[in-house]
Amino acid sequence: MKSRMLQTLAVMLAVAVFAFGQTTKYNYQFAGAFPDTGFKGPSGAHGVAVDPEGKVWIQLFTSTTKDSIMTPTGNKVVHGIYVFNADKTPAAFSPLKTVTVAAVTDTFLTGNNRGITRDAKGNIVFTRSSGAIYRVNYKTGAGMNKVIPQATSPIMPAFDDLNEMFTGNVLDAVGPIRIYDDAFSFLGTVVDTSRGFSRCLGVSADGNDVYWTSYTKPGLIIYHSDNGSLGPYTITDTVMWGMTIESINWHPVTKYLWVSTGNAFAPSGYDSMYTMKKWGNYMFYGFKPPITRTSVPVDSFQWGWSLSADSLMKVDPRPRGIAFSPTGDTVYVAQFNPSTIEAVQRFIGHGVTSVRPEEGLVAERFELKQNYPNPFNPSTKITFSVTSRTEATVKVYDILGKEVAQVANGTFDAGVYTVPFDAGTLSAGMYIYTMRTANGFSQSKKMLLLK
């Protein structure tokens, strides 16, 4: 109990130091297939994870004909786990075709893969349709732990900072959300029966909040406990109404909660009760805690448009995994369904921007101020103010009206905010920056970039 209380206090202090009034965007941009466009699966992927060394672990849904293992009855294809270095070269132990735990070796000849993630210590945990959950050493691929909570498909689990594992089942109303300790010993349950078909869940660092996802009952259910895994947990809210979520993960630096939306087959709809926001398909959204019914994304990107919009709709990939590099500047996403396109894509951040509140200043009006310095080379600061809580954006355009940067996007409480703008990659000349808010306010100003 003392350990849990001390750990909770430490997490609260760390989050407070980082998140005090600040909103950070990584401006992720499509950087191509990973490792390449030829890496595909019969039904795409079912998850992706990144370890502390930056290696990328990819779990295809089912087997491919390119990897096999010799058995007493002949050569058999396996449902392996593929591991790549950040430079796209295979890890020395890739692919994982077997896992040995407690002197028992399991070979992945039958069944399908169901989810993959990293635990709080950086080791990799993945699930199989047999019901088994495995932990392997991220440095060597060697087996460490195994548990079978129930003889049905488990979802991608999640871990708190004590390395306690939270997991549930894919099927609707089949079993509880369970909790296991660092050694995979059973601790208890969050709830006796989960809701909706699911692929993954999330948990806060202190274990107090469990985020249950579903693609048949759109939205994110939050279970809360004042004592972490000691419980009891109760439903406190349902947020992100209308969103069909099949991927979830925490950003390692900002601590934002990232989720994915659906595809044309299982589309996300309107969050009509609260924010009136239409969730797009094939999207990944980042939310800044605390997450409430009125929360809107502070960052986002979409599955890479290596295909035309029409072609993408025809193959209709379902987002099925998101994982960040240790520094948070690179993100990998996986898709399930099509076998004709790459299973995983990579996105790289292009210029981190942080919106900072100006403490002690009171907003007198909705206003976009003149940037300073102006003229500038290559960076400047843009200040804006809002008199009430609202969703706002600040974007930069060239003189032809083409958007070249988005420097602020989110929900802001009443106050004065400043955001840096780095134009190091832009050509010299005149630019226009515009502030727009959800209540209809709009204002533009000019700035001059010198080189």
- Say if residue 277's pLDDT is above 70: no
According to the model, what pLDDT value does residue 121 have? 98
Residue 326: cis peptide before it, omega within 30 degrees of 0: no
Task: Give the mean model confidence (pLDDT) for residues 29-45.
Answer: 91
189: β partners: 178
- Say if residue 236's pLDDT is above 80: yes
For 303-349, the pLDDT digits (tens) are 986 555 566 667 888 999 999 999 898 999 999 988 888 999 999 88
Q: Which residue has the higher pLDDT, 437 or 389?
A: 437
* Element housing 5 (H / E): helix 2-19
- Say if residue 125's pLDDT is above 70: yes
Question: Can you say whether the dihedral through the CA atoms of 200, 101, 60, 329 is positive or negative?
Answer: positive
428: helix, strand or coil:
coil
Topology adopted by domain 29-347: Methylamine Dehydrogenase; Chain H (2.130.10)
Asked if 29-347 and 353-449 have one fold, the answer is no
Task: Give the mean model confidence (pLDDT) for residues 164-168.
Answer: 98
Measured distance CA(190)–CA(376) in Å, rounded? 54
345: β partners: 33, 333
According to the model, what pLDDT value does residue 22 have? 64
- In CATH terms, is domain 353-449 a member of 3.30.420.10? no
Measured distance CA(106)–CA(110) in Å, rounded? 11
According to the model, what pLDDT value does residue 272 have? 53
Q: Which residue has the higher pLDDT, 5 or 178?
A: 178
| Residue extents of the structural domains in the chain | 29-347, 353-449
Which pTM value belongs to this model?
Answer: 0.79
